Structure 1
């Protein structure tokens, strides 16, 4: 079709105009789910979360989530999946190091304060000289270069297994704070989600995007290979921690709970209970090997403020 024919009013011009309108409407319809998800995430900074530690990550299965934490040794390449809303976070253990990690052999054995042969893990002395720099150079930097911009920091309370005195605990906490400060100094744009780490929040709360805890309602017992209900007192203690995080630091709180992967009723029930408390829910299997259920299930009704809610049986 030539420019001169387009300048003449008639059927050809009408066809072109109609086609343009149809294409525009189709584009808006196609983008609407992604835009809605991104808008939902921007409200809290986290949105609908997922934690998946399986060996094979299929990005299309996580399109309904806004924040996804995965096992970086799965080989997943976040750089190949930047067109959609999910923010890809890499799982990183701070307090313990598994022997199969590539960087384990590079660590001086004097940095390990306890080994667990049955789990092939070693507890790291957080106060060891050189540990913060090693953590950034050998653990975080390779992940950053692979495209990760978010990190889920786990095992922040492991030091309690060996630190028996106030002085020893203070030494370990100071080391953890130094690790986080070193990470943010190198990568100021890094987004961090802490798994617990309640003791160090006064020093690092302004450097994290959210705080996660586990098992408000449903728990997994690895030793017995069974799912159990969380005792009321344990739940109330965790809720107290969640309220303090909300009131003092205005950070989103995530609860990772556990149900059998084929028990949809359990998963949906717990998601609604957690969501009603003003906490971001995610319910999955004990090994985090299946895709769980998040707050995307919740209705649009506003949950009650976290500080005012206490769950009673």
Structure 2
């Protein structure tokens, strides 16, 4: 960077210099605050709207109507630079913590001993969260490159995949401890990053202070990947999720996001489901089963 010439120490030029330095400090402080600024506010004030788009060409202008946008980064999308701070949306990158699909560019670098079973519905490998090198690998090989590209938030998915392979309380506890270590490692390296969990309810007692929101899927309407069909959520599953949501809200005061699924051609389903979610005081996003198209939610304008 080219160094500016020395400024006079008196008069308007000096005053403007002080103002400029003050503005730089304000912007720098805002960037440094990152997720902490959200965590210290009431959930109703922290996050009003969010969109999820995993397709190849994110519609930037449409997504700019939301406070946050979650993107599948492997399609090559690079967030546009913010003209002013804060700027909408905050760009979140999708990050799978509990599973790795063979299509991921870093899959081949993962030692086979770190993989522990498969999720047949998604043709992905489940990561053994007790692997000592996994937190550093995920931070260095996955999160750090996304941060350099301009993502300032991370949507952490597949946090419950360990349940497919852990069969005892001791095994589940060990996997949970590993997940906590991963999330803490991300926060330690990037304390200004925003973090949204997809479920991970059992992890919150240990990490809720570094999390900005909790999301979950299929409160009313779901997507069955195995059968590739849209489904109505059973009363039992619906009630269980509501109980988890109440705990998150009452104990941790974190914003809640419900991601539900409707056939894109069924606009009434999307509209009505979003209305139901909103009535419960949660942030809705209702879209197709693969999140390949723009859905229905709360817009920020």
**TM-score normalized with structure 2 length:** 0.82
Matched, 1:71 2:89: no
- Alignment partner of 2:167 out of 164, 167, 171: 164
Shift in Å, 1:124: 0.4
RMSD of aligned Cα (Å): 1.9
Correspondences of 1:28-107 after superposition (within 5 Å): 44-80=45-81, 84-107=87-110
Alignment of 1:257-276 (within 5 A): 257-276=260-279
**Aligned match of 1:246:** 249
Equivalent position of 2:205 in the other structure: 202
Supply the distance in 2 between the matched residues of 1:135 and 1:55 (Cα, whole angstroms).
23
Structure 1 gaps, min length 5: 1-40, 299-313
Aligned to 1:186: 189
- CA gap 1:79/1:42 in 2 versus in 1, 3 angstroms: farther
- Cα distance in 2 for residues equivalent to 1:82 and 1:172: 41
Instruction: Report the alpha carbon displacement of residue 233 of structure 1 after superposing the two structures with TM.
Output: 1.8
Q: Give the match for residue 233 of structure 1.
A: 236
Greater alpha carbon shift after TM alignment, 225-234 vs 93-102: 225-234
Shift of 1:42: 9.3
Q: 1:117 to 1:162 in 2, by over 3 A?
A: closer
Selected match of 1:113 from 112, 116, 119: 116
Bigger shift: residues 100-109 or 76-85 = 76-85
Report the equivalent of 1:281. Answer: 284
**Higher Rg of the two aligned structures:** 1
Q: Which shows bigger deviation, 285-294 or 79-88?
A: 79-88
- Distance in 2, matches of 1:66 and 1:297, equals 6
SS of the counterpart of 1:184? Answer: helix
Q: Mark the runs of 5 or more structure 2 residues left unpaired by the alignment.
A: 1-41
- Contact kept, 8 Å, 2:223 with 2:289, in 1: the verdict is yes
Say if 2:66 and 2:298, in contact at 8 Å, map to a contact too.
no
Aligned length: 258
SS in 1 for 2:141: helix
How far residue 56 of structure 1 moved from its aligned partner, in angstroms, is: 1.1
Cα shift readout 1:54-107 (whole Å, capped 9, x = no counterpart): 011121121221111010012111144555511110000000011111111111
Match of 1:3 in 2: none
Query: Larger RCO: Structure 1 or Structure 2 (Cα < 8 Å, ≥ 6 residues apart)?
Result: 2
Match of 2:291, SS? Answer: coil
Against the structure 1 CA distance between its residues 147 and 44, is the aligned structure 2 distance closer, same or farther, given a 3 Å change threshold? Answer: same
Alignment partner, residue 151 of structure 2: 148
Contact kept in structure 2, 1:52 and 1:289, CA below 8 Å: yes
Counterpart contact for 1:54–1:289, Cα < 8 Å: yes
In the alignment, structure 1 residue 221 sits paired with structure 2 residue 231: no
Q: 1:227–1:260: 8 Å Cα contact kept in structure 2?
A: yes
Matched residues in 2 for 1:118 and 1:242: separation? 26
Deviations 1:197-247 (A, max 9, x none): 011110010010000011111111222222121111211110000000000
Describe the shift of the 1:296–1:216 C-alpha distance in structure 2 as closer, same or farther (beyond 3 A): same
For 2:252 and 2:49, the matched residues in 1 are separated by 20
